[in-house]
Amino acid sequence: MNRFKKFSKYYIYILIFIFLTIITTNYMVDPYQQYRKASFYTFLVKNERYINPGLIKHYEYDSLLIGTSMVANFKSSDIEKKLGFNKVLKVPTFGGNICEQVETIEFAQKYKKINNILFGLDLYSFSGFNIPTNIKEDFPNFLYDDSVLNDSKYLFNTRVFTRSLKSITKRYDEKKISEQLDNLYEWQSKYEAMFDGGNNAKTNYLSQVNRYKSFRHYYKFEILKDNFNNYLLPLIESNKNINFYFFYPPYSILYYKLMQNAGYLEEYLKFKSYVFSIMKNYKNIKLYDFQSEDIVTCNLANYKDITHYHQRINLWMLNNMRMNTYLVSKDNIDKMINKLNEQVQRY
């Protein structure tokens, strides 16, 4: 019995040691910069949902880039130069929904006065998938509040501990950090080889035909409309002092063809019309639509799959935004929607 008590005591000591080691390391290193800006290591750029809150808390900005992986290849410096923004922070959520995106903006407003938001509007973000974020497992809600009561989820976290150990191996490099912030979450360099003249896009299309047919019930107009009204519209209504630059990313023609085959292209086009009917009432909103520009969307060499376009398209969009080309108005909304529909029917 004495041996058992002795073993139990040592076991408890070991557990306490492990517990304290994880908490202390995570607090001191703070790999996601929850408590302070990184000062003795160069932070790792991976898992944007965990990184964004720390950047929002501790870095300088007055403008935001919001969206999914479709906006990740924008450079902050290009946005500042082309659109006249002062200091941009990129805070996208890959595969993100509108609830996550709005929550990110509202969190940023607690720390900075936001003057401008460049916002990519993705169909997926308004669909019936994973809304609200409390059922989206990969969104760390506990990092997007100011409560110290749930800090234990961050401090006593083996995932964060692993990140801490990796972080301290990265020597602090101020120049590299500046470059990282400018190119934050950029994926072009990683997937350059996949832009193979359109073969990957075609292969991706063929592999998705049956899968997309099963998504139809997630993309009904009423679902898209409700998620717009419940999440994005209240943000717009309560922030008439922010300049919003919304845009529809130019997916490849194959993506719209999948929508048509799956039976929800009309639902999407109806949704776009509805979005404009709301946004046209706000003087602080500009809405750009690049989705019917067939010079881009029908050139499959611009894509690594059915949706993700080359980084040169990001710069092309900024140049056109600067000139207010593709700006949606009451005079061209129907023309733009009909043009896209006709392109899909013909393809």
Q: What is the mean pLDDT of residues 26-55?
A: 95
Dmax of the chain from CA atoms? Answer: 87
CA distance 163 to 168: 9
Q: Is 82 left (phi over 0), alpha (psi -120 to 50) or beta?
A: alpha
Model confidence band, residue 146 (pLDDT cutoffs 50, 70, 90): confident
Determine, yes or no, domain membership for 6: no
What integer pLDDT is reported at residue 40 of this predicted model? 95
What integer pLDDT is reported at residue 148 of this predicted model? 80
pLDDT tops 70 at residue 288: yes
Structure-block tokens of residue 332 = 């061209």
Q: What is the mean pLDDT of residues 144-151?
A: 84
Average pLDDT score, the chain: 94
Task: Report pLDDT digits (tens) over 322-336.
Answer: 999 999 999 999 999
Determine, yes or no, domain membership for 336: yes
Task: Name the residue among 145, 143, 163 with its Cα closest to residue 22.
Answer: 163
Contact 66, 118 (CB under 8 A): yes
Q: Quote the domain boundaries for residue 203.
A: 45-148+172-346
Backbone angles phi, psi at 228, to 5 degrees: -65, -50
CA distance 187 to 308: 10
Model confidence band, residue 137 (pLDDT cutoffs 50, 70, 90): low
Edge-to-edge strand order for the sheet containing 88-90? 88-90, 63-66, 116-120, 243-248, 285-289
Q: What is the mean pLDDT of residues 88-92?
A: 99
Task: Name the residue among 154, 74, 59, 155 with its Cα closest to residue 108.
Answer: 59
What integer pLDDT is reported at residue 150 of this predicted model? 85
Determine, yes or no, domain membership for 5: no
Determine, yes or no, domain membership for 155: no
Model confidence band, residue 64 (pLDDT cutoffs 50, 70, 90): very high
Give, to the nearest 10 degrees, the angle between helix 48-58 and helix 98-109.
Answer: 20
CA distances from 184 to 95, 187, 267 (A): 16, 9, 33
Determine, yes or no, domain membership for 195: yes
Characterize 124-155 residue by residue with b for buried, 16 or more Cβ atoms within 10 angstroms of its Cβ, and e for exposed. bbbbbebbbbeebeebbebbbeeeeeebeebb
Q: What is the mean pLDDT of residues 109-123?
A: 98
Structure-block tokens of residue 56 = 């929002």
Q: What is the mean pLDDT of residues 220-234?
A: 96
CA distance 253 to 196: 17
Determine, yes or no, domain membership for 297: yes
What integer pLDDT is reported at residue 294 of this predicted model? 97
Kindly write down the DSSP assignment for every residue of 109-158, as one continuous string: HTTS---EEEEE--GGGGSSSS-SGGG-TTS-GGGSS--STTTHHHHS-H
Determine, yes or no, domain membership for 20: no
Model confidence band, residue 129 (pLDDT cutoffs 50, 70, 90): confident
Specify the number of domains making up the chain: 1
Greater pLDDT, 151 or 256 = 256
Contact 88, 64 (CB under 8 A): yes
The helix or strand, by DSSP H or E, that contains position 267, with its residue range, turns out to be helix 265-279
Determine, yes or no, domain membership for 37: no
Task: Report pLDDT digits (tens) over 173-216.
Answer: 999 999 999 999 999 999 999 999 999 999 999 999 988 988 89
pLDDT tops 80 at residue 8: no
Q: What is the CATH number of the domain that holds 178?
A: 3.40.50.1110
Backbone angles phi, psi at 80, to 5 degrees: -60, -45
